[in-house]
Amino acid sequence: MQLSHYLSTLCAALLLCGAATVEAQQADTTAAKKGSRLTLGGYGEAVYSHHFYSNNVFRYSRAEQYKDDPGFGRFDLPHAVFMAGYDFGHGWTFGAEVEFEHGGVEAAIERETDEAAEVEQEVERGGEVALEQFWVQKSFSRAFNVRAGHIVVPVGMTNNGHTPDRFFTVFRPEGENTIMPCTWHETGLSLWGRLGAWRYEVQLLPGLNSNMFNDGGWVHDGSASPYEFRPATRLAGAARVDWSGLRGVRVGLSGYVGNAFNNDFINSNYRSGARYSTVRGTVAIGSLDFSIQNRWFIVRHNLVYGTLGDADSISRFNKNQTTMSGNPYAHTEVGRAAWAAGVEAGVNVLAGCRTDKKLYIFTHLEHYDSYVPYEGMVDKEWCERSLVTAGVNYCPVPEVAIKAEGGVRLLAEQYNDEPYVAVGITWTGFFKN
């Protein structure tokens, strides 16, 4: 078929799916065979969870008052993602990904016929729609590729591998998903390649926005922007190196550094006083993760530690921001550091059988703290938590997993523990490759 036919097919797929991207590992093969230049795929999750604790916003500040609350249940579509990619030839490729979180957003302006033709804005369903990837890449060799556009920041284990077949739990690992953006995606430039058993990547990105930092999520919301563009007064860098020299073994080291203060569209307030003139708000994050797997078992581990410079000044500034209606910023303190550590292990009890089906029995442990206080500030102990969970993953085919788990979130003794159960079905695959 001619190139024009493939391009029209791609455009139709994007319109029908809403959609798009090829994960970074799919882009490693840039010289696609004739007839397979177009790639379509995706992943998604549908889950039910029941939480045996209160979800009242005061459940930590007034823990005893909500100790005997009956709990709550939820149905959810955490992620529904459609991906597309195309090989233009001569080393040029394209990848894109559109993600619908929690069922997307259903909102409309309606005119009510029975209320004097009143015009109303109606929201039928919450959620988010995000363009997570949209890039063009030039591959000069296996060892050197240049990618420009909207890209995933591969800091931490979960950002680097966020499809549901890369973790056992029904929801994404909680610690990394709490203290960092997840999935973290920015518009920038990436240089990456493979050298033997090593894969490297270096990125130039816009810095985070310290106006969005808070106590319960540290810098998690820092990559968000309430505007139609991403402020980039401050630039940042990210890097990752992975080693896979042994079969079934991968070890990754990743990091991020960049200033976050005064990285907003409205910046006149930053210059209103000399006390903020030297504030930089340097965010530095380091992460170590590894995985070991064969037909019998999988073990994964991650460790993330991050620091924030000038946390006291940023906290004071954020708390003093105007609370006028529509202000999108947080108004809480932010810690000088945050960290998360986790490990999960699963055994495939069907490994000895003559079947392609898999049944993993797993356990998953995490401990994280989103608020390590700066000097002179009282610790917010509810921000430090442990998570203990166990469950099963059944994979009737390689692309589908049925997950079930039960666990408990453990907090300091003055707070109520948070037990829950969850079940879900996930898929990860390609329709055309």
Is the pLDDT score of 23 beyond 50?
A: no
Q: Which pLDDT score is estimated for 5?
A: 43
175: left (phi over 0), alpha (psi -120 to 50) or beta: alpha
Q: Does the residue 171 lie in any domain? A: yes
33 located within any domain: yes
Structure pTM? Answer: 0.87
In Å, what is the CA distance from 33 to each residue of 26, 28, 93?
A: 14, 13, 13
pLDDT bin (cut points 50, 70, 90) of residue 65 is very high
Which of 8-12, 167-171, 323-327 ranks highest by mean pLDDT? 167-171
Give a yes or no: residue 117 inside a domain.
no
Q: How confident is the model over 389-404, as pLDDT tens digits? A: 999 999 999 999 999 9
- 356: CATH: 2.40.160.10
Evaluate whether residue 112 is within a structural domain. Answer: no
| Domain hosting residue 224, numbered range | 3-105+123-432
What number is the average pLDDT over the span 219-230?
89
pLDDT band at 319 (very low <50, low <70, confident <90, very high): confident
Lowest mean pLDDT among 72-76, 190-194, 263-267, 305-309: 263-267
Q: Is the pLDDT of residue 17 over 70?
A: no
Contact present, 186 and 154 (Cβ < 8 Å): no
Question: 424 falls in which pLDDT band (50, 70, 90)?
Answer: very high
Total number of domains in the chain: 1
Residue 152 domain-assigned (yes or no): yes
Q: How far is it, in rounded angstroms, from Cα 173 to Cα 64? A: 28
* 92, pLDDT greater than 80: yes
Q: How far apart are CA 355 and CA 126, in angstroms?
A: 41
Is 147 a member of any domain?
Answer: yes
What percent of the chain has pLDDT above 70?
83
Indicate if the alpha-carbon torsion angle 82, 252, 180, 187 is positive or negative.
Answer: negative
97 neighbors 129 (Cβ within 8 angstroms):
no
Q: Return mean pLDDT, the chain.
A: 87
The residue type at 29: T
Q: Alpha-carbon distance 81 to 18, whole Å? A: 9
Q: Which pLDDT does position 103 carry in this prediction?
A: 82
* Predicted confidence (pLDDT) at residue 284 exceeds the cutoff of 70: yes
Q: What percent of the chain has pLDDT over 90?
A: 72
pLDDT tens by residue, 101-130: 988 776 655 555 454 545 555 666 677 888
Question: Tokens 């049944």 sit at which residue?
Answer: 359
The arithmetic mean of pLDDT across residues 189-216, rounded, is 96
CA angle 318, 324, 327 (to 5 degrees): 60
- Say if 39 falls within a structural domain: yes
Q: Which residues sit opposite 299 in a β-bridge?
A: 292, 345
Burial class (CB in 10 A: 0-12, 13-18, 19+), 149: middle
Q: What is the rounded average pLDDT of the residues 243-258? A: 97
Assess if residue 183 is contained within a domain. yes
Beta bridge mates, 241: 200, 253
